[in-house]
Structure 1
Amino acid sequence: MSKRESAKYKIDRRMGENIWGRPKSPVNKREYGPGQHGQRRKGKMSDFGLQLRAKQKLKGYYGDISEKQFRKTYDEAARRRGDTPENLIGLLESRLDAIVYRAKFVPTIFAARQFVNHGHVNVNGQRVNIGSYRCKPGDVIEVREKSKQLVIVLEAVQLAERDVPDYIEVDHNKMTAKYLRAPGLAEVPYPVQMEPNLVIEFYSR
């Protein structure tokens, strides 16, 4: 198992939830956390603990984003008009790696970041290799011609475990996706409950 793969499953077990809804998640068999203290009985969590956990879960879901990058996303969400938790989700969902994952071009969010980093994706006809690149409504994301027959792409398209959400329009024959609009929290197909309001509370303490 690669380092990234084991780290991914540790996030699941630390949270005690199958946060990506994947059938292989170890949480399906063992709901306690990793490590020698994983089976200890958990006491009641403090408000700070709940906020921290909500932040770690959201960060982990998007491929374990770095704290610096996640904090910058929060700062921008707070600056924008409107509801800050909704803004935060909209900004996270506009990341190029998140859209590649949502469009089912790859099986996992971690694979999406690697796929983008390795130069397999164009945005509006231009190659972009930065996973955190922020897409705008109307942007067209396309798997590059030479990458369309990669096994990882062909297998991901067939995955029945998740659907493409309404805010992304996908043509799997052409391997293109159009980002239509920033979604609200209720539209994002999280397999588990996300609590961006607690993330906002964490940073605004």
Structure 2
Amino acid sequence: MRIVPSSSTGLEVVGEHRLFWEYGSPLFVYDADHIKSQALNLTQAAHGFHISYAIKANSNKFILNILKNNKVECVDVVSPGEIYKALANGYAGHQILYTENFISEEEMDYALSANVIMNIGALDTLNSKFGIYASELDDVARIASDHNIKIIGLHQHIGSNLKKHDQEVFLNTTEYIFKLLQKFPDATKVNIGGGLGIKYQSNDELLDVKDLYDQVKKYRDQYSTALSREIQLWI
């Protein structure tokens, strides 16, 4: 076994079999400096955003600590186990966004007891990662009012591996989300989702992330003024 330099992974030569014999097998090697660099690139492009890391991508506690110490201050979780892991790694309830489809009452009770932010996506269980139709939003507002549920923000997720050709659609749906805020007087958070693409093919054209987020900030400023409330941006 030999680990060689790679522009895509950032790994360096560490010597023939050295890590294997020192730490045993199976062995997973992560480059902390590369993770920090990627976090820095994102936080600079998304300056002014609250940035969430999806724990399902990799829940290694050392990686979570690296991200948390490099301005990725929130996490997205999809199960009670991930809520527990986030809390155990020092995240507070307001830094945890919980999205799970087909949630049970027991799971919802645990999430509420942990004071996490709940991502609501269906009228029947008030939770599903697949989302609510725009035509149902008046019903959502009515149900929230009837049961004293506070809707604090709106969230979109239009896909994964988004590339340059997706930017126009992304911005159109994002502006639509801002327009919908008027239905919910307590809503001050807009989460535009993640899904940023990577270069799988040599001819893939990636999003200009800074340009994309600068456009979103313009919507934030416009609708903060129009609705007379300070709107927070999340990804």
TM-score, length-scaled by structure 1: 0.24
Larger RCO: 1 or 2 (CA < 8 Å, sep 6+)? 1
Q: Which has the larger radius of gyration?
A: 2
Q: TM-score, normalised to structure 2's length? A: 0.22
